[in-house]
């Protein structure tokens, strides 16, 4: 089993973690970093625009969003617009796919498998939606995925709604999908203990990630 360093970053600004991702990927590409890394984090409210973002997916202008305390970033990942905020577990894998499979379709499906497996521990029946990337339960979207790969090293990743304020998704057309209904782990389980639930989900996601990709874990410092 290959090693994986998991870093739990707590809640950090999006821009800070974006630069951290890019630096870790640079080090992984150049051979300065020997192991793959999974960053787990929550963000203050932020909207990110992927390379596939359509004008219709962002009905409120970026300037207006910023006036309401929501940052907006254009990023290199695939996909359309998405929202990150408190109560959402975001995972950024910095993986060298040459140690796995040089196949982006396989990688996307594997990320979905990670989340489907983790949700199964909570008896949430999650699955794919044919033709769409992400994870769904009973027709509702619970997790989004968007990636970028350079020299077979990955960037960006997944966002799983745990105790997220789902009303925030009204600011956008999530992933450009009209009339999509967003949900969360808390909403599906009817649980309100946000801190305890997030800790449980984080542990299950980390374990499922190692199972799917075949890793042994190196405990991170949380200060990457």
Mind telling me the catalytic residues?
Answer: 175
Residue 193 neighbours by CB distance under 10 Å: 12
**Torsion angles phi and psi, residue 60, rounded to 5:** -105, 135
State how far the Cα of 13 lies from the Cα of 56, in Å rounded to an integer: 26
CA separation for the pair 70, 140 (Å, rounded): 24
Dihedral sign (CA 203, 212, 37, 164) = negative
Cα–Cα distances in angstroms (integers) from residue 65 to residues 20, 22, 46, in the given order:
25, 25, 9
How far is Cα of residue 191 from the mean position of the Cα atoms in its chain? Answer: 22
């Amino acid at each position: 089993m290959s090693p994986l360093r998991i870093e739990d970053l707590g809640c950090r600004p999006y821009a800070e973690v974006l630069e951290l991702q890019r630096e870790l990927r640079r080090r992984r590409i150049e051979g300065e970093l020997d192991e793959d890394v999974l960053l787990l984090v929550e963000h203050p409210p932020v909207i990110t625009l992927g390379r596939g973002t359509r004008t219709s997916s962002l009905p409120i202008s970026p300037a207006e969003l910023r006036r309401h305390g929501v940052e907006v970033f254009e990023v290199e990942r695939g996909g359309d617009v998405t929202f990150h905020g408190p109560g959402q577990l975001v995972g950024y894998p910095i993986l060298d796919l040459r140690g796995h499979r040089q196949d982006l379709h396989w990688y996307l499906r594997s990320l979905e498998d990670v989340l489907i497996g983790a949700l199964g521990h909570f008896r949430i029946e999650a699955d794919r939606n044919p033709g769409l990337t992400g994870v769904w339960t009973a027709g509702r979207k619970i997790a989004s995925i968007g990636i970028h790969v350079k020299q077979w090293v990955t960037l960006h990743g997944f966002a799983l709604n745990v105790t997220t304020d789902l009303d925030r998704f009204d600011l956008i057309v999530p992933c450009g999908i009209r009339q999509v209904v967003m949900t969360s782990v808390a909403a599906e389980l009817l649980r309100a203990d946000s801190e305890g639930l997030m800790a449980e989900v984080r542990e299950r996601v980390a374990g499922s990630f190692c199972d799917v990709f075949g890793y042994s874990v190196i405990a991170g410092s949380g200060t990457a």
